[in-house]
Amino acid sequence: SQKIEQNSEALNIQEGKTATLTCNYTNYSPAYLQWYRQDPGRGPVFLLLIRENEKEKRKERLKVTFDTTLKQSLFHITASQPADSATYLCALENNNDMRFGAGTRLTVKP
Partner 1 sequence: EAGVAQSPRYKIIEKRQSVAFWCNPISGHATLYWYQQILGQGPKLLIQFQNNGVVDDSQLPKDRFSAERLKGVDSTLKIQPAKLEDSAVYLCASSLGGTIYEQYFGPGTRLTVT
Which residues on neighbouring strands pair with residue 6, listed in sequence order?
23
Minimum separation from the CB atom of position 96 to partner 1 (A): 5
Length of the chain: 110
* Closer by beta carbon to partner 1, 4 or else 74: 4
Q: Which amino acid appears at position 6 of this protein?
A: Q
Minimum separation from the CB atom of position 16 to partner 1 (A): 29
* Closer by beta carbon to partner 1, 36 or else 74: 36
Binding site for partner 1 (CB under 8 A): 4, 32, 34, 41-46, 49, 89, 91, 93, 96-103
Minimum separation from the CB atom of position 67 to partner 1 (A): 20
Minimum separation from the CB atom of position 85 to partner 1 (A): 17
DSSP string for 5-74: EES-SEEEEETTSPEEEEEEEES---SEEEEEEE-TTS--EEEEEEETT-SEEEETTEEEEEETTTTEEE
* Closer by beta carbon to partner 1, 41 or else 110: 41
* Closer by beta carbon to partner 1, 77 or else 89: 89
Instruction: Tell me which residue of 23, 40, 37 sits closest to 101, measured CA to CA.
Output: 23
